[in-house]
Amino acid sequence: MRRVRRTNRVIVAAVGLAATSLLWTAPPASAASGCSTSSSDFDRDGTPDVAVGVPGGAGRNGAVQVRLSNEGEPITTTVTGAPGFGTAVTSVSSYAGAGDDELCSQLVVGSPDESTRAGLRRSGAVHVYAWDAAAQRFVLRGSFAPQARGVQGTAQSGARFGAALAAEQRPAGTTGPSPARLFVGAPGTDLGGFPDTGQVTSFWVDAEDDPLAHETELTRLGEPLTDEPTPRAALGSSLSVADGVVAMGMPGFPTRGQAGAGAVLVDLVDGGPDDPNALVLSQASAGVPGSPEKGDRFGASVHVVPGPAGQRPTVLAGAPGEDVGEAADAGSVTVARISPDLEVSGAARTVHQDSAGMAGSVEAGDQLGAAVSSARYGSSTVYLVGAPGEDVGTVRDAGMVQTIGTGKGWTQSSAGVPGTVEPGDRLGASLGGSPATGATRSSVGIPGEDASTGAVLVGLPGGGRPVSYLKGTQVGNRFGFTVAP
């Protein structure tokens, strides 16, 4: 793969926007003196809150349930939307100055199956909410989509804008850039007549009562990244941001001509023309083990782990379709340290369930790497990986979550893990709890629990506190399809 010149990111002019939008410029970081709470701390009590996506199914409306820590007396609140609402969840800041504290941690919900206008099916939208402490509920600030509220680009049927979301997160006591740039995946975007090439749109949202998006940037395939737009690459299927670096999964990308081998585009959040070129990370990259194969789906999941002070972060890339020996779709995860010039630093490593320090054993259909994340345990950061297709005994697709390099793994038959092993639970299909937010407990989705009613584990055994078990209320709604932070 060729390296990407920075021109692969299109900065769209704000032609045709209202004058108020044209005059807006991002406030300096020094203005953000009021954001002392962590990202995802929606009620600002000093503890990150857990948001759970419940996208519904079979035409039923979606929802996001937020469990607010509420100074040690947790409360739960729910926001609802169209079918597919809750497919992706994150938080973002729009803090611009004194009096904007409630905008430090806004709930952002992706609704990729939503039709934003007549004649457009599954074009997708993103909804931004602020917590109203007096009313004890989330209040919608605005809904964003291409050609709406200042978001540039063109709305398309089937684009699925909002299928993935990411924004820079911050721990408590750390004042981050404000407002933060929000990245939105639209993996179904067609480009130049090529279907499902995909696109990532990024922008920041202002602090006004009637907010607009600003400084839209579009990341697309095509010259100079590739000779032409790549059909079915599905850029924007997965997203993650930390330490000023954004990772964008394109699991359908035909690396070395292998359909669906996959790749990840790694770039700077605020890159300029004099910054390092973006990196295309794949199993064809120098220093990355393995070789691209049809259907690997490298980049189906991505997670950026914050690095030590002064260093670039580590990128985790899941390839749940990776065949290991004769075991089809056993799955693997690649761990790559990124250098300051956006190169793979040293040798990356790729692990599967027969690798040293991994739990379980390689089996067909385990789909290790369907989800990746990280968590803080004491003074250490551990890498989490889900294998939702893991069979537990004779129970098919019960699922497992494990930490890379420790030999530890958990299923619902493990001591200290609530619930019961059942076929199709798919524990580990989603993961959350990034240390970028200061979160000390991981979140593990079990969207297939009890006939796809769904559930979420908060914490894992050995974390110093009992594991909490949150469960959905309606069969088929897939509570835990996604979790945040």
Q: What is the pLDDT along the chain (485 residues), one digit of tens a residue?
A: 333 433 356 655 333 222 223 233 444 444 445 677 888 889 988 888 999 999 997 788 999 999 998 888 889 999 999 999 999 999 999 988 878 888 889 999 999 999 988 889 999 999 999 999 999 999 999 999 999 999 999 999 999 999 999 998 877 666 655 688 999 999 999 998 899 999 999 999 999 999 999 999 999 887 555 666 789 999 999 999 998 899 999 999 999 999 999 999 999 998 777 777 789 999 999 999 999 999 999 999 999 998 877 677 999 999 999 999 999 999 999 999 998 888 998 889 999 999 999 999 999 999 999 999 998 776 778 999 999 999 999 999 999 999 999 999 999 999 999 999 999 999 999 999 777 776 778 999 999 999 999 999 998 887 678 899 999 999 999 999 999 98
Q: Is residue 121 part of a domain?
A: no
Q: Is residue 414 part of a domain?
A: yes
Order of all β-strands in the sheet with 50-54:
75-80, 63-68, 50-54, 482-484
pLDDT at 59: 81
Q: Is residue 385 part of a domain?
A: yes
Q: Is residue 408 part of a domain?
A: yes
Query: Across the strands, what pairs with 351?
Result: 333
- Domain assignment of residue 470, given as a range: 370-485
How far apart are alpha carbons 439 and 169 in whole angstroms?
11
Q: Is residue 411 part of a domain?
A: yes
Split into its structural domains, the chain has a count of 1
Query: Across the strands, what pairs with 334?
Result: 317, 350
Write the pLDDT tens digit of every residue in 291-322. 999 999 999 999 999 887 767 799 999 999 99
Q: Is residue 252 part of a domain?
A: no
Q: Is residue 446 part of a domain?
A: yes
Q: Is residue 407 part of a domain?
A: yes
Write the pLDDT tens digit of every residue in 52-90. 999 997 788 999 999 998 888 889 999 999 999 999 999
pLDDT at 35: 79
